[in-house]
Chains A and B, each alone.
Chain A
Amino acid sequence: DSGVTQTPKHLITATGQRVTLRCSPRSGDLSVYWYQQSLDQGLQFLIHYYNGEERAKGNILERFSAQQFPDLHSELNLSSLELGDSALYFCASSRRSGTYEQYFGPGTRLTVT
């Protein structure tokens, strides 16, 4: 158990809909990262927050947004969903920002039908 929790574990929704994925980092970790893993693909970095502030953006679509709240949990919002958005979405946390190992949650499997 990494100490990072993600909810929900599974999510099935229709095209055009909007969903919110939630992540709680390990106790004491200030950084939260979001990744997308499509079928047989590597982990694609989406976005990084540190202590409530956005620090880096990767290949995140404009239809996607995220935020980190004062209690340090984070939410990833996916809107106008398309079939291609079906993937595993992982959240990871680390103590600080920068080059430190990240601890991953179990992921949320999103299926768009």
Chain B
Amino acid sequence: DQQVKQNSPSLSVQEGRISILNCDYTNSMFDYFLWYKKYPAEGPTFLISISSIKDKNEDGRFTVFLNKSAKHLSLHIVPSQPGDSAVYFCAASANNNNDMRFGAGTRLTVKP
């Protein structure tokens, strides 16, 4: 039961352009969403989060948008840098639960 889906396994963009990573979820009880970045041979690192009471959260080059009616969130990276090349995981949690569900990840490659 894949409650969090990242339908694009990979994405390639040019340095300086925008990267848009997408995530869909099915569980309407999810009320907190996070993005993690993972480099090879390392554990995932927290990037940015958003609560369901908001529709946008921005942190530097990273912005997460949440569309609750569509059960969709996206991560925008502007401008993209080669160092952003990594696997990005979307995750979701419900406040009355104690677990977090992750998507399968999207591998972002930023070309110089």
Contact = CB atoms under 8 A, between A and B. Distances in A.
Interface residues on B, range: 20 to 34
B35 to A, nearest CB: 10
Interface in B38-59: 41-46, 49
Interface string A64-108: 000000000000000000000000001010000111011111110
Contacts of B91: 43
Interface stretch (B14-22, B65-73, B77-85, B92-100): B92-100
Contact of B98 (A4, A44, A56, A103): A56
Interface of B: 4, 6, 31-32, 34, 36, 41-46, 49, 89, 91, 93-95, 97-105
Nearest to B105: A42
Given A48-B98, A56-B97, A98-B95, A103 B105 contact: no
